[in-house]
Structure 1
Amino acid sequence: MVAGIGPGNPRFLTMEVKDAIENFEKVVAFGRVSNSLGHIRKDFIRIEKIAHIDKLLEEYEDILILASGDPCFYGIVEYLKRENIKIEKILPGLSSFQYMMAKLGITWQGANFLSLHGRKGKLESVKDYKLSIILTDKDNTPSRISKSLYEMGVKGRIYVGFNLSYEDERIIKAEIGKKIDDITPLAVVVIENEMD
């Protein structure tokens, strides 16, 4: 089974996911996820790389795999299906982008979604949408995205959410092209493109 834990803070767990965490015999989690849920249980099987899941599935028959955000939104489900790993059930979680949009008070239907988190995405697609939502990583930082969009001639606002849902959460608003302090490598970037 695969379950999404939401943006990070345990307050955003669904009751169904919390019950699964408490009741499954073997629960697999990445470091950040297991750290934030340590008050629920202490015996997580911690992994650092997604490829380690294959070995665990050979060792254990029935495990719960925890993923940050929602596992179906640029998440672990995509990897498991690509590796032909059977998923018995998926429990959804609140995505970091949903959390961010609620914080901003911006509706997101019709938005362009782009993950640059360990992926090669086409940042140029932002030019074709009034609203784009982008997931970042250590190489594709909010500062780099802001600069690249400015060089492409995109004008408008950029919002960046760092450590969303945690006590040290920061949401920054700037004009596209302005330097942004990259507080953490993982962030949600929202682009409001001033299209003609």
Structure 2
Amino acid sequence: MLSIQVIGLGISQPPLLSNPAQQALAQAQAVFGSARQLQSVGGLLAGHCEQRELPKLSLLKEQLQAYEQVVVLASGDPLLFGIGKFLHQQFPQQVTCYSGVSSLQGACQLTGLSLQDAQLVSLHGRPLSSLRRYLQAKRNLLVFTDQYSQPQHLAQTLAAVNLQDSSLHVCQRLGYEDQQYQRFSVSELLTSQQVFDPLHVTVIETRGPGGVMPNFPGIADTQFITDGKTGHGLLTKREVRLAILSLLQAGPGQVGWDIGAGCGGVAVEWALWNPHGQVHAIEHHAQRFSCLQANRDKFGVIQNLHTHQQRAPQALTNLPAPDKVFVGGSGGDLQDIMRTAWQALKPGGRLLASAVTEQSKATLLHFGDTIGADTAEFMQVSISRADKLAGHDLLRPNLPISLICWDKPYV
């Protein structure tokens, strides 16, 4: 039976390995790792052991199955943004991990930052804009980076969200004899031409007025990019959006569908405040879809907000089964969309829809009669906002929005 030992080498040179980790290396038929990693453990391997460069993950599973005793080398802690999670998912009963001291722990040691007070962020292989979701004032960020998220790129992003008083601590080649630690201001890095070693971690202390990225649910309508004037266009207004999010009660690991997502007001907040869930937003209108994409980038939810420029219900066919569904627009196909969404919804899941016109409301109520499930919630949200009329103050009402939802029973 295949046995996979995943060994984190830590940041010490040479690596400080436990006795079980050394024993695993001595007994391995093959060891996978980078050239640098393989060199660091070469003296611990048996003569018959194959040393193999770590391939792409899409190829690794098949190659590992050619052996019975195999070791995969990792840097630092393989279960902290490392290969350990992937291997546990592929071989649930056959993986043992030995953790080393990670570069993030080494960065904390140099800066005096307590690990429990920091937000861990990996930009390695991820878009730089995904950092934006974490950019509120007075936060401590521990950041894994790559060639597209060098300290200068981080400084540019901080300046763009009004956090120009932040400090960036760059920790290079941790654990090596030429280890280096430098502290920079945003302004210093904006003009810096310094080339940083690929092996580095950046600690960011966010400081400054901020106010660009939201601190709490209920993003102002004016913060969204829309297909109309600022704060208008096809965008679910803040008060209604909060009611929708409250009714959905999205949880970690859950899949959500936002059908008729418009410019992305609901989908963006759904993804932003539930970072461990996945949201699929469907919008066929070209200009609104462009706004949806732009808002996804602006609020840094690229990793867990997936956008689809298609019509529903046809667009729903190949999506993962949802735990929560919100239908905010239908393009005239409301009945078919509701039926398709209900069929795809997982048992215990919730289907929520909004309606403005009496005809749409009647369609939703008829749908509820056909599925044999009780209505979980039925409410109308009416919002009035301050305005002027002939120089006098008044509260001008928006159109009331009906929200109706059903919970799918367990079989």
User: Which TM-score band applies after superposition, normalised by the shorter structure?
Assistant: 0.7 to 0.9
Q: CA deviation at 1:195?
A: 5.9
Q: Give the alignment partner of residue 171 of structure 2, picking from 156, 161, 175.
A: 161
Q: Does 1:6 pair with 2:10? A: yes
Is the deviation greater in 9-18 or in 183-192? 9-18
Q: CA deviation at 1:20?
A: 2.5
Q: Determine the structure 2 residue equivalent to 1:80.
A: 87
> Take 2:143 and 2:36, find their aligned partners in 1: how far apart are those partners?
20
SS at match of 2:44: coil
CA change 1:50–1:162 in 2 (3 A) is farther
Q: Determine the structure 1 residue equivalent to 2:140.
A: 131
SS at match of 2:65: helix
Q: Does 1:32 pair with 2:36? A: yes
Q: Does 1:97 pair with 2:97? A: no
Gaps of 5+ in 2: 210-411
Q: CA deviation at 1:81?
A: 4.0
SS at match of 1:144: helix
| 1:10-47 superposed Cα distances (whole Å, 9 cap, x missing partner) | 24434442332233332221222113333434852222
Q: CA deviation at 1:133?
A: 0.3
Give runs of aligned pairs for residues 53-72 of structure 1, distance below 5 A: 53-72=60-79
| Matched AA of 1:123 | L
| Matched AA of 2:113 | I
Q: Does 1:17 pair with 2:21? A: yes
| Matched AA of 2:63 | L
> Take 1:130 and 1:195, find their aligned partners in 2: how far apart are those partners?
11
Larger Rg: 2
Name which structure has the greater RCO, CA cutoff 8 Å, separation 6+. Answer: 1
CA change 1:50–1:30 in 2 (3 A) is farther
> Take 2:153 and 2:42, find their aligned partners in 1: how far apart are those partners?
34
Gaps of 5+ in 1: none
> Take 2:53 and 2:96, find their aligned partners in 1: how far apart are those partners?
21
CA change 1:160–1:15 in 2 (3 A) is farther
> Take 2:19 and 2:109, find their aligned partners in 1: how far apart are those partners?
20
> Take 1:76 and 1:37, find their aligned partners in 2: how far apart are those partners?
18
Is the deviation greater in 42-51 or in 111-120? 42-51
Is the deviation greater in 103-112 or in 64-73? 103-112
| Matched AA of 2:204 | I
Q: Determine the structure 2 residue equivalent to 1:191.
A: 204
Task: Give aligned pairs, total.
Answer: 195
Q: CA deviation at 1:130?
A: 2.0
Q: CA deviation at 1:126?
A: 3.1
Scaled by the length of structure 2, the TM-score of the pair is: 0.43
| Matched AA of 1:162 | Q
> Take 1:130 and 1:88, find their aligned partners in 2: how far apart are those partners?
35
CA change 1:123–1:49 in 2 (3 A) is same
| Matched AA of 1:60 | Y
